[in-house]
Structure 1
Amino acid sequence: MLEGMHYQNAYICDDLEAGIALFRGRGMTKEPIIIPVDQTVQTPEGPKRQKGRICFIWIGDLQYELIENEIDEVGIYANCLSNGGPLRFHHICFRIDDWEDFRARVDEQEFPVAMERDLTGEDPNGLKFLYLDARKVFGHYIEYTWMPEAMWQQIRAM
């Protein structure tokens, strides 16, 4: 299942500031905002907590997400093994236009859902996301997101 608009490559790092520093002089034009994240996501085994810090760096039309993991009850970030460098590739992300159609087909395809969250219940302008575990074919997870256009424009401006 590969569909939507690929806009993001994501990396795990043990030190977010050191990860950001690697992008300076390599196309990063403005300093990213560090966002603390503490959330409960749905998994096949039930609700689990994810806590850490993230930032988004845009270079051209590609967003780089850096993730510093603190609490990972899902195990989705902690299972990203060290490659000897400060950044470890973790997933790509696609933006989906029609979430209901997409979500109806997720359970019919081969990759299991690792985790998902729907923030529209908390905020009608919130986003929805899910991760598929595509490691057996692609070697990484695939994230899919849906968000209102206004939120997309806000993310693009970060």
Structure 2
Amino acid sequence: MKTLSLSSFSGFLQIAYVTTDVDEAIARFAAEHNVPAWARLPGIEIESMGGRHCKLNIALAFVGETQLELIEPLSGDDRIYRDALPQTGFAIRHHHFAQLIESEADFETQRDDMAARGVPIVIDGQSPGAARYFYTDHRATLGHYIEHIWYTPAGLAGMEQLPRNGVEL
């Protein structure tokens, strides 16, 4: 019996944006979208592909159940983020949605299925002890990337510590 793979649209957790200046982006999200509380991860290094790394300024926040991510590329193998931005001036651009995958086995199945279907995998890495992730390139058909991410229990616990923004009624 064949195991069905996840739809690329199941379990969306996050909307991610790239920016030329994460501090300015945070200020604009606060003023224009009522999202004032963010966790900042300055100068974080992530694995991009095949042992390559990039350095990023990242900010994370929740609005209800949706996580927002702001990414400012700084150096290294960061072209997947940098290519979406203009060369001069301030910008915020939509970059990807992130799909939360429930188990490591489902993560492997999803990754194998995407590769078998010929969907380009453009980032493939892990944060040891916290998460495994890969990005698929859907720009030709959807105009954006999709990040597929599985969190360890410690990674999920860390997400619970992120700032929550919302409207109290």
The aligned counterpart of 1:87 is: 92
Q: Distance in 2 between the 1:132 and 1:116 partners? A: 9
Runs ≥4 in structure 1, deviation > 4 angstroms? none
Q: Contact 1:38/1:50 (CA < 8 Å) preserved in 2? A: yes
Matches within 5 A, 1:74-153: 74-82=78-86, 86-97=91-102, 98-119=106-127, 122-123=128-129, 126-153=130-157
1:51–1:106 CA distance, 2 compared to 1 (3 A): same
Q: Distance in 1 between the 2:155 and 2:51 partners? A: 25
Q: Contact 1:57/1:65 (CA < 8 Å) preserved in 2? A: yes
Q: Distance in 2 between the 1:137 and 1:72 partners? A: 28
Which 5+ residue runs of structure 1 have no aligned equivalent? none
| TM-fit CA distance, 1:74 | 4.9
Q: Distance in 1 between the 2:30 and 2:126 partners? A: 33
SS at match of 1:52: strand
The aligned counterpart of 1:69 is: 73
Match of 2:30 among 12, 24, 30: 24
Which amino acid is 1:129 matched to? Y
Pick the structure with greater CA Rg: 2
1:79-118 CA deviation, whole Å, 9 max, x = no partner?
Answer: 1044x86311111100012212222212112420001113
Calculate the aligned-residue CA RMSD, in Å: 2.1
Which amino acid is 1:27 matched to? N
1:151–1:48 CA distance, 2 compared to 1 (3 A): closer
The aligned counterpart of 2:167 is: none
TM-score, scaled to structure 2: 0.78
1:11-67 CA deviation, whole Å, 9 max, x = no partner?
Answer: 1111111100112153325x312113113322xxx4322111101021111111000
Residue identity over aligned pairs, in percent, reads 26
Q: Contact 1:95/1:145 (CA < 8 Å) preserved in 2? A: yes
Which 5+ residue runs of structure 2 have no aligned equivalent? 1-6, 163-169
Which amino acid is 2:116 matched to? E
Which amino acid is 1:53 matched to? N
Q: How many residues align?
A: 149
| Greater displacement, 19-28 / 107-116 | 19-28
The aligned counterpart of 1:7 is: 13
TM-score, scaled to structure 1: 0.83
Which amino acid is 2:98 matched to? C
